[in-house]
Amino acid sequence: MSVVIPAAPQAGSKRRMLGLRGPASSAQPLISAHPASPFAESFRLLALNVRTMLSFDARKSVAVMSGYAKEGRSLVAANLALALAEEQRVLLVDERRRAFAGPGSLTDLFRPGGENGGQRIPGEMRRSIVESAHPGVFIMPRLVDTGGPDDDVDAAITHASDAGMYTIIDTPPALTTTAAFEEARLAGNVLYVVRDATTDLDAHRRVRDQLERLNVNVLGILLNEH
Amino acid sequence: MEMRVFARALVRWWFLPVVMLAIALAGVIIYHRIRDKEHASSNVAIMQSYFPPPGEYVPPQLGFDALAGSQDLHARIANALHDGTTADQVGQMLSIDYQPKLNQPNPSPIYKVTIADTDRARAIKIDNIAVQEAKQLYGEINSPSAQDVASAFKTQTDAAQKKVDDARAALLDFEQKNDAFALSQRRDQEFGLIAQLRSAAVTASGRGATTDNGDGAALVAARVELNRLMALEPQYEQLTSDLTLASAARDRLSQRVSDLQIAGPSSAAQLADAQSQFTSVQATYGSALIALGDFQTANGISNLPAAVQGQTTMVNQLVVADATTRESAGAIDAAIGREQAELQRLLALEPQYDQLNLDLVNAESQRTSLSQHVLDVSIGQSLPASIQVRVLQDATIESNMVMTLLTYGLAIFLAVFVSLTAIYLLAYFEKMPASVEDIERVFGKPVIGRIPAAGS
């Protein structure tokens, strides 16, 4: 089964890839659709790196972050979760707000399913963790509204780590909402996604400075040339 | 800025130098198409005067290169071209430059006369005309004008003339008041007359002649004529002096005209000037000659000094004859006494007369010297242009290759410099990361993954 996330239009932006200046793809595949492709291998290698770097981390959680929208955070979060899930169960937290979520959001991609038929994991949370149709991947869907503080993520990470799961959080753009930093603080680790050079260095520096103030560990940079 | 960053920017904006080079080269080509002109140039040397003419040599007051700005020269060249070229256009295409040669000191300066024109043959033609006209004008400008010289010396000349007039008036006044015309001659005549009378007295005393106080009618008439002639002497001297002065000037200018005729056609302007002066002096000489002739006709004499001398001799003879005819020792003695008294009177006047005469001679001498000097200045202080200006090389076309290469080189340099500067500034102010390494440096973390492009 292949699930496709439609690409957002690139209107008005001068596309300049880092060393590669090809056009953005119109569809973002999941590695489960092309398990033997270089695309899938690149996520398996990324998953290996993440596993290694989080091997001594108790919470084993990572926030996938970028400066602005359309950097490929959802693509990375989804495929990293699928790659990690090939060896260990993963909790995928969809924290993108409605304003930033397109029709092909993670909540839509990872619909309930699986052996337990999308069975919910009970807990003291407003949002339930549901097993998705992809083996080993559990989804915590995005908030329907934006009102009020949400402690579900911290609890979900705790539950997941207690269950020996990795937690991958798909955050909103860091420079447009502070929620991304809140989730980064809860995760403790950040995977910083960079697609092209449309984000200037000053913006990257602002993200870095804020992460340092929150004592968040940046695992590394992920270059999205897709 | 690191060289790596600049090199990356150079790779990114590689087209900037290419575009700038294309624009610069196109600009230079268009510039040369529109502005390029052929340059024809000649070399001219201004010779120093190794053999100065009579009178003191004075270096030219105006250098040859100064002629480049002369509207007169531009107009002359334009007139010589007869093709509608205006003096202003000539002025824009003409340049005269001094050619310094420090390694070979040369007392004669060398100048390059250059004409810039789009047509090669025309440039050469105009350049040759420019050299000839400049040569002509140079000679004219650096030769003093007779009128200017006369005006410059007018004060001194007038003063000298006034001095002569005053001295002559004083002498004439003295002669009139004291009946002392031609004092020296009359003194000598009195000496001779007295000697003759004494001789007659010795002869008459031997014969026992008696004395008589009266003179004969012929003697009286001869004395009247002698006095008339002597009275004419001051005016006669004035007229002969003017004639002598005019004659000297005429002779000198005649020699100058002859010299310039030998010098050739290049001295035509100076020859014309000298001939003009000669004509003027000739007229003055003629006027003086006519005035003297009128004077001689009106007074019935041709040579006044000779006439006075002859009349004096005649008077002396008549006096002696008259005394002898009377055969009166008393009359002879009376005549001797009268003449001795006259002699004493003349001798007494002689010192003052000599002084006045000397003043007149000195004044006339000074005036003559001044006139001669003025004449020397006006005709003798500069060599003709044909001698001073020598054309070392006729007009030839100069190569523009160096200038052309220089403009192309400059254009290329500027294009490269400007484009590299622009790239440097672009790189300097560029905030976007030039590479993923820039982002790595910001976070201090490596790239741990790379999602390949679609299709790879």
Express each pLDDT in B226-278 by its tens digit: 888 888 888 888 888 888 888 888 888 888 887 777 666 767 777 888 888 88
Question: Average pLDDT for residues A71-80, to the nearest whole number?
Answer: 90
Round to whole Å and give the CA distance between B37 and B404. 11
Round to whole Å and give the CA distance between B155 and A10. 100
pLDDT band at A66 (very low <50, low <70, confident <90, very high): very high
Question: Average pLDDT for residues A217-222, to the nearest whole number?
Answer: 93
Q: Looking at CA atoms only, how far is residue B445 from chain A in angstroms?
A: 5
ipTM, two decimals, is: 0.79
* Mean per-residue pLDDT over chain A, rounded: 76
Beta-carbon separation of A221 and B443 below 8 A? yes
Q: Is the pLDDT of residue A14 over 50?
A: no
Q: Is the pLDDT of residue A21 over 50?
A: no
Q: In what order do the strands lie in the sheet with B38-46?
A: B94-98, B110-117, B38-46, B389-398
Nearest-by-CA chain A residue for B456? A38
Beta-carbon separation of B442 and A197 below 8 A? no
Beta-carbon separation of A38 and B452 below 8 A? yes
What are the 10-residue block averages of pLDDT along chain B, 456 residues in total?
77 89 92 81 72 50 82 92 89 88 70 88 91 85 75 87 90 86 80 77 53 61 83 86 87 81 71 85 87 82 80 81 68 80 83 83 84 74 62 84 89 94 84 75 89 70
Q: Is the pLDDT of residue A8 over 60?
A: no
- The first and second tokens of residue A94, run together, are 């969809």
Give me the pLDDT at residue A102, please. 53
Give me the pLDDT at residue A18, please. 40
- The first and second tokens of residue B294, run together, are 């009128």
Q: Could you give the angle at the alpha carbon of B29 between the alpha carbons of B27 and B30, nearest 5°?
A: 65
Give me the pLDDT at residue A16, please. 38
Residue A27 neighbours by CB distance under 10 Å: 13
Beta-carbon separation of B452 and A39 below 8 A? yes
Q: Is the pLDDT of residue A70 over 90?
A: no
Question: Average pLDDT for residues A165-178, to the nearest whole number?
Answer: 90
Beta-carbon separation of A201 and B445 below 8 A? no
Three-state SS annotation for chain B? CCHHHHHHHHHHCCHHHHHHHHHHHHHHHHHHHHHCCEEEEEEEEECCCCCCCCCCCCCCCCCHHHHHHCHHHHHHHHHHHCCCCCHHHHHHHEEEEECCCCCCCCCCCEEEEEEEECCHHHHHHHHHHHHHHHHHHHHHHCCCCHHHHHHHCHHHHHHHHHHHHHHHHHHHHHHHHHCCCCHHHHHHHHHHHHHHHHHHHHHHHHHCCCCCCCCCHHHHHHHHHHHHHHHHHHHHHHHHHHHHHHHHHHHHHHHHHHHHHHHCHHHHHHHHHHHHHHHHHHHHHHHHHHHHHHHHHHHCCCCHHHHHHHHHHHHHHHHHHHHHHHCCHHHHHHHHHHHHHHHHHHHHHHHHHHHHHHHHHHHHHHHHHHHHHHHHHHHHCCCCHHHHEEEEEEEEEECCHHHHHHHHHHHHHHHHHHHHHHHHHHHHHCCCCCCHHHHHHHHCCCEEEEECCCCC
Round to whole Å and give the CA distance between A177 and A191. 17
Q: Which of A21, A65, A84, A201 to mutate to test the interface with B (most CBs of B within 10 A)?
A: A201
Give me the pLDDT at residue B410, please. 94
Q: Which of B430, B438, B440, B443 to mutate to test the interface with A (most CBs of A within 10 A)?
A: B443
Q: Looking at CA atoms only, how far is residue B452 from chain A in angstroms?
A: 5
Q: Looking at CA atoms only, how far is residue A48 from chain B in angstroms?
A: 10
Nearest-by-CA chain A residue for B453? A226
Least confident of A9-13, A93-97, B23-27: A9-13
Give me the pLDDT at residue B429, please. 77
Handedness of CA B183, B189, B190, B191 (dihedral sign): positive
Q: Say which of B432, B435, B450 has its CB closest to residue A200.
A: B432
**pLDDT tens per residue, range B69-110:** 899 999 999 999 888 889 999 999 999 998 877 666 666 778
Q: Is the pTM of this model over 0.80?
A: no
Give me the pLDDT at residue B311, please. 82
Q: Is the pLDDT of residue A125 over 80?
A: no
Q: Say which of A45, A75, A202 has its CB closest to residue B449.
A: A45
Beta-carbon separation of B452 and A43 below 8 A? no
- Does the CB of B442 have a partner CB in chain A at under 8 Å? yes
pLDDT band at A124 (very low <50, low <70, confident <90, very high): low
Q: Is the pLDDT of residue A75 over 50?
A: yes
Beta-carbon separation of A220 and B451 below 8 A? no
B450 neighbourhood in chain A, CB within 8 Å:
42, 222-223, 225
Give me the pLDDT at residue B91, please. 92
Give me the pLDDT at residue A9, please. 31
B104, exposed or middle or buried, with CB in 10 Å at 0-12, 13-18, 19+?
Answer: exposed
DSSP-derived letter for residue A98 is G
Round to whole Å and give the CA distance between A169 and A81. 10
Q: Is the pLDDT of residue A116 over 60?
A: no
Question: Average pLDDT for residues A48-67, to the nearest whole number?
Answer: 92
% of chain A beyond a pLDDT of 70: 70
Beta-carbon separation of A201 and B433 below 8 A? yes
Q: Is the pLDDT of residue A135 over 80?
A: yes
Q: Is the pLDDT of residue A208 over 90?
A: yes
Nearest-by-CA chain A residue for B432? A200
Round to whole Å and give the CA distance between A66 and A199. 10
Give me the pLDDT at residue A28, please. 56
B74, exposed or middle or buried, with CB in 10 Å at 0-12, 13-18, 19+?
Answer: buried
Q: Looking at CA atoms only, how far is residue A171 from chain B in angstroms?
A: 18
Residue whose C-alpha is closest to residue B452's, from A44, A172, A4: A44
Q: Say which of A22, A200, A223 has its CB closest to residue B447.
A: A223
